[in-house]
Structure 1
Amino acid sequence: MSDLALWEVRNGVGHVALNQSERGNMTQRAHSALNELVIGSILTTAAHRYGDNEAFFCSTTGRRIGFKALNARCNRLVNALQTQGLQQGECIAFLASNRTEMVEIYFALAKGGYIGMPLNYRLAPGEMHALMKDVNAAGLLFEDKFADAALQACTSLPSLRTRVSFGESGLRATGVQDYEALIAQANADEPSVVVHEHDPYYYNLTSGTTGTPKCYVISHYNNASLSNMSMALDITSQDVVLTVIPMYGRIGFLWMAISVMYGIRNVLVNFAPDEALHLIAQERVTVSNLVPTMAAMMLASAKLPKYDLSSLRALVFAGSLLPAPVREGSIAKLCPQLYEYYGMQESSALVMSTPADRKLRADSVGRTLLFCEVRVVDVDGNDMPHGEVGAIMGRTPGAVVAYYNNPEKSAETFVNGWLHTGDLGSLDEEGFLFIKGRLKDLIVTGGQNVHAGEVEEAIIGLPGVADCAVIGLNDPLWGEAVTAVVVPQPGAQIDEAAVIAHCKQTLAGFKTPKRVITQPDALPRTPTGKVQKFLLVRKFESTH
């Protein structure tokens, strides 16, 4: 087969049918490659190296499992799926919260050469159905608390042949097999499946900050390149990780894989501020990855003073820019050592700010990680001078190469090996990256460019302000009117005139909001913490 067709198969760009000869060629090329970076080998190695050491604690079930036992269960799952007639290269969707079955499914799919599709449990059944239909999902594994949504989603899907459920209720619908019963019938032998490092591993979705999420395919190689981040965080065998970010996303997967790679204990929880604080104290957690909103909720907890958080050596932030009040509060009350990284779902982390970096550039998201490159360019793709704002582009082994069945958006985003992030920023002489906002967050008012992030930074630290998003609303005079949507702290009142007066003192006049809207409800955010501003524009456009 042609190199282009092989690339399409490996990266999930289109539906490419392979004949037996072509499949044989792919297998031969896989056999000839040595030291492949495939995800399944991480767990196989961990089982040998770390044996019965505790690998995961699931707070939902209270279950603890070691590396050797985890590997055996994953092998049983692969072998069980094979007995169901599910073949290497077919797509298997899964729907669950943060629990050990998610870990087992991820590694089993890797070992079996399947292509996974982790489903966001916040999606409507119709959205899940459309995703599974688009990728011809052959199987669906789901947690029983999502049974209603799962069963609705998998109706009228001719490709779907296997449905498996797990969870505490023990209730199984007609035609749905029990997860534990299924794996109990299979052997624990290592699967004899050849997997190539550039084979598709799983489908994932972008955050959806500007509308409908886009689907992309992550290869084994893309995900195996996570070691640069763990090195920057100085992860050691003495660490204990708390995973609170949903595991259906790339960040949740990353921490699962890092903990197995280093043989460290990982505590799985579905985020609630008091539960997270309790587990940090009980399990002596040393490292956790949060989005800023999570930290803000933990800081606001009335129970915070009762918990001993002294075991924490690092809090890691990503998903959205870290507001100064949350940063300062986290240092004072949660953990003095903060890390912040920047990247996209499509690229994983590109740059990181360590505690040492923060002493040099407190307002920067850091410098490039190992194997990563970042550029800031103008509209013609030319590098901007140091300190000048332009579009951020990145290149890393973790970056995917295309969106699934979306050639137009792929051509716009992936150019000559570089990923257009859609963000605005600048680089200084020492390589520190400064984020100025989204390209789509650029507000053009009266012919002047306003970066929404700059205005948000001016407002977020005001007394009584819990959260803030700045948007541009259509205006007959200005083109777009700078508008601040402010969420007050409990019991606080927002004085629109005072907010505007403060902005006039700290910002140029054209950057000052024309209007301040108080919204009592939380801002709409993606699971990774990014504000979905298009929803705010849609909500307030008609009232402007």
Structure 2
Amino acid sequence: MRNQGIGSWPARRCKNGAHRTALVHGERTDTYADVEHRTRQLANALRADGVGRGDRVAFVGFNHPALLETFFAVGQLGAIWVIINARLTAPEVEYILADSGASVVVYGPEHAGHAAKLAQLPGVRTWVAVEPDDGAADAPSSALSYEAFLAAGATDVIDEPVSWDDPAMIMYTSGTTGRPKGAVHTHGSLHMQYFNVLVDLDVARDDVTLAVAPMFHVAGLNMLTLPTFLKGGKIIIQPGFKPDRVLATIAAEKVTSVFAVPAMMDALASHPDFAATDLSSLTNVVVGGSPLPDRMLRTWAARGIGIQQGFGMTETAPGIYLLTAEDSLRKPSSAGRNHFFTEGRVVRLDGTDVAPGENGEVIGQGPNVMQGYWNNPGATAEAIVDGWYHTGDVATVDEDGYIYIRDRLKDMYISGGENVYPAEVENALLDLPGVAEAAVIGVPDPRWGEVGHAYVVAAEGATLTAEDVVARLAERLAKYKVPKEVVFVDELPRTATGKLQKHLIRTRSQESAL
């Protein structure tokens, strides 16, 4: 094959194991032969629509086989896949489509409204609807049915020469500090991410991976889903996270591997069915996205399951660090050591390595680092300095070289001259009986420069007061770390993967202070 990229995977997978189950979605089951045939037809349909080398094809939607099919099909043509966060509003999607120059957009049934609002967007010539919602009266009349579009494609074998240096995917950052930036990954940087996973995790041909974390985020796509496809295992795709369904699926399907974020793991452990669910099949439970609460580690460890925390970024595809299974109970709060092909360091402001226990910024270097930001060389030069990608995250390392993530550098605040890392305070809050969720931000203070404000969601039936919370924290934390104010709220704003949206909390805090 001349195609050395990800688009060639379905055909390569059929050399050995075409009959094996590849994807399960609801009542639908596709073998690897099915995936190869469908992606070949889709690639032909896209080529007939005018898509060629270097063109951009976007997908916006929740977890669905079409997400993976479009990635493979686009890769067969030497084109570039643009994967868009399904939680974004129409104006946010519009910016990404315009910035990337996507000419074709495949969208899920929940996004008919977006498609209607953006139907006349210059540059996009074709809109393709996955599983059209019959009740979506606002869907654009010009939209094509995904299944009809695919079925109309020829069955010719496409073997476009694609190298590891060619761009494969643009995935946009969250944009919490401004306009989102498109991280460009080549076929090579993605392959090296998958090789890192295969070396450092026990991914096997007989694995059953539950893809429930959003695949429009880098870890949901790249930590287990695509490595499982590469090995020839089974991928069970669920469109959204429902704790009861996830627990039932793990038991019934003997799921071996799952990637989740801390909020998901907490929700599973808090579910009434958790204690009785058979979890014995789980061998790879990988968690990332934010620091892990101690209570979550203890709860899962009590079920005999060590959590393998990883650390990385969209720009690193994502892996920089990973805790192996053998260390998951020995170093439970660590994000592990360097991935096999990737180097990570924790450095001071002058670029020198920190001493054990000293705070510093995490930087990473390796073949899985992005090529750069799409059409944004200035931002690329700021992020990658002397070959090292600067993450903006604060961490420490221990004497054995294991990393412990503290917080985002931008979330840290200084109170009375002392650095305060909100994640540490949030962890202490979550250990208090009656606290279900917590977020801490720094706010201006005339005396101390900044002080902490905590926003707490109380557990059902709990009777907590702000005074109680402050008193209990004062027994666990230094005085300067204890929030000056505790506010009880019904919910906290989170991303689709469960990350706290601190920028929204800050905005609301500022508005309430006016």
TM-score, normalised on structure 2? Answer: 0.93
| Pairs within 5 Å for 1:205-220 | 205-210=172-177, 212-220=179-187
**Which runs of structure 2 are paired with 1:316-335 in the superposition (5 Å)?**
316-333=286-303
Amino acid at match of 1:161: R
The counterpart of 1:83, out of the listed 48, 51, 66, is: 48
Partner of 1:493 in structure 2?
Answer: 463
Structure-2 residue corresponding to 1:147: 112
Question: What is the 5 A alignment of 1:73-472?
Answer: 73-157=38-122, 159-167=123-131, 169=133, 173-210=140-177, 212-225=179-192, 226-254=194-222, 255-269=224-238, 270-305=240-275, 307-333=277-303, 336-347=305-316, 348-472=318-442
Partners of 1:350 and 1:464 in 2: how far apart? 35
1:99-143 deviation digits (Å, cap 9, x = unpaired): 111111111111111111112221111111121111221111122
- Kindly state the Cα deviation for residue 211 of structure 1 after the two structures are TM-superposed: 5.1
Aligned residue type for 2:72: F
For 1:113, what is the secondary structure of its paired residue? coil
Cα 1:533/1:144, change in 2 over 3 Å: closer
Secondary structure, aligned partner of 2:297: helix
Q: Is the 8 A contact 2:173 2:181 kept in 1?
A: yes
Which residue of 2 is the match for residue 29 of structure 1? none
Cα shift at 1:463: 0.2
Structure 1: distance between partners of 2:155 and 2:254: 32
Q: Percent of counterpart pairs with the same letter?
A: 34
Structure 2 unaligned residues grouped into runs of 5+: none
Deviates further, 213-222 or 315-324: 213-222
User: What is the rounded CA distance, in whole Å, between the counterparts of 1:317 and 1:212 in structure 2?
Assistant: 27
Contact 1:103 1:256 in 2 (8 A): no
> Residue deviations 1:309-328, cap 9 Å, x none?
33222311111111111222
The aligned counterpart of 1:11 is none
> 3-state DSSP class of the match of 2:328?
helix
Instruction: Return closer, same or farther for 1:542/1:253 CA change in 2, 3 Å cut-off.
Output: closer
- Name the counterpart of 1:526: 495
Per-residue CA shift, 1:265-311, capped at 9, x if unaligned? 00000211111112212222111111111111122223335543332
Aligned equivalents of 2:129, 2:511: Cα separation in 1 = 44
Contact 1:209–1:531 under 8 Å retained in 2: no
Alignment-derived partner of residue 13 in structure 1: none
Counterpart amino acid of residue 324 in structure 2:
T
SS in 2 for 1:49: coil
- Go from structure 1 to structure 2 and tell me whether the alpha carbon gap of 1:542 and 1:143 turns closer, same or farther (over 3 Å shift): closer
Partners of 1:274 and 1:155 in 2: CA distance: 41
Conserved 8 A contact 2:2-2:159: no
Q: For structure 1, list consecutive stretches of 5 or more residues without a partner in the other structure.
A: 1-33
Compute the displacement of 1:498 (Å): 2.3
Give the corresponding residue for 1:14. none
1:433-491, CA deviations, whole angstroms, 9 ceiling, x for partnerless residues? 11121111221112222122222222210000111122101112221112222121122
User: Which range moves more in the overlay, 343-352 or 295-304?
Assistant: 295-304
> Which of 23, 37, 58 is the equivalent residue of 1:72?
37
What secondary structure sits across from 1:529 in the alignment? coil
Q: Structure 1 CA distance, aligned partners of 2:14 and 2:323?
A: 33
Q: 2: CA distance between counterparts of 1:327 and 1:213?
A: 33
Q: Using the alignment, how far apart are the partners of 1:151 and 1:195 within structure 2? A: 34
Question: SS in structure 2 opposite 1:453?
Answer: helix
Question: Using the alignment, how far apart are the partners of 1:210 and 1:491 within structure 2?
Answer: 37
CA change 1:538–1:57 in 2 (3 A) is same
Kept in 2: contact 1:37–1:221 (CA 8 A): no
Q: Is the 8 A contact 1:474 1:541 kept in 2?
A: no
- Is the Cα contact below 8 Å between 1:145 and 1:167 reproduced in 2? no
Q: Work out the CA distance in 1 between the residues paired with 2:116 and 2:45.
A: 21
Displacement of 1:405:
3.1
Show CA shifts across 1:122-178 (max 9, x none): 111111112111122111112233212122123232x21222222164687422222
Return 238-247 or 409-418, whichever deviates more: 409-418
Contact 1:342 1:350 (8 Å CA) reproduced: yes
The equivalent of 1:19 in structure 2 is none
1:210 touches 1:533 (CA, 8 Å); kept in 2?
A: no
Q: Secondary structure at the match of 1:48?
A: coil
| Equivalent position SS for 1:436 | strand
> For the Cα contact (< 8 Å) 2:209–2:256, is it kept in 1?
yes
The 3 A distance-change label for structure 1 pair 165 and 275 is: same
Structure 1 residues 338 and 405: CA distance shift in structure 2, 3 A: same
In structure 2, distance between residues paired with 1:95 and 1:213: 15
Q: CA deviation at 1:431?
A: 1.2
CA contact (8 A) 2:127 2:144 kept: yes
The residue identity in structure 2 corresponding to 1:162 is T
Quote the offset at 1:37 in angstroms. Answer: 5.1
Indicate if the aligned counterparts of 1:401 and 1:414 stay in contact, CA closer than 8 A: no
Residues in 2 aligned to 1:384 and 1:304: alpha-carbon distance in whole angstroms: 41
Paired residues of 2:203 and 2:228 also in contact (CA < 8 A): no
Contact 2:128–2:144 under 8 Å retained in 1: yes
Deviations 1:51-76 (A, max 9, x none): 111101002xx110000111111011
TM superposition shift of 1:526: 2.2
Contact 2:345 2:364 in 1 (8 A): yes
Q: What is the CA deviation profile of residues 75-115 of structure 1, one whole-angstrom value per residue up to 9, with x for unaligned ones? A: 11011111112222111111222111111111111111111
RMSD: 2.0
Q: Give the distance between the partners of 2:330 and 2:274, measured in 1 at CA.
A: 30
Secondary structure of the structure 2 residue equivalent to 1:483: strand
TM-score (norm 1): 0.88
CA positional deviation for 1:362: 2.8
SS at match of 1:167: coil
Secondary structure of the corresponding residue to residue 503 of structure 2: helix
Separation (CA, whole Å) in 2 of partners of 1:307 and 1:37: 42
Kept in 1, the 8 Å contact 2:63–2:237? The answer is yes
Q: Could you tell me how far apart the structure 2 residues matched to 1:126 and 1:541 are?
A: 24
SS at match of 1:421: strand
Larger mean CA deviation between 246-255 and 287-296 belongs to: 246-255
Per-residue CA distance 1:411-439 (angstroms, 9 max, x = gap): 22110110111011122232111112111
Equivalent residue letter for 2:211: T
Q: Which amino acid aligns with 1:467?
A: E
Alpha-carbon distance, 1:259 to partner: 1.7
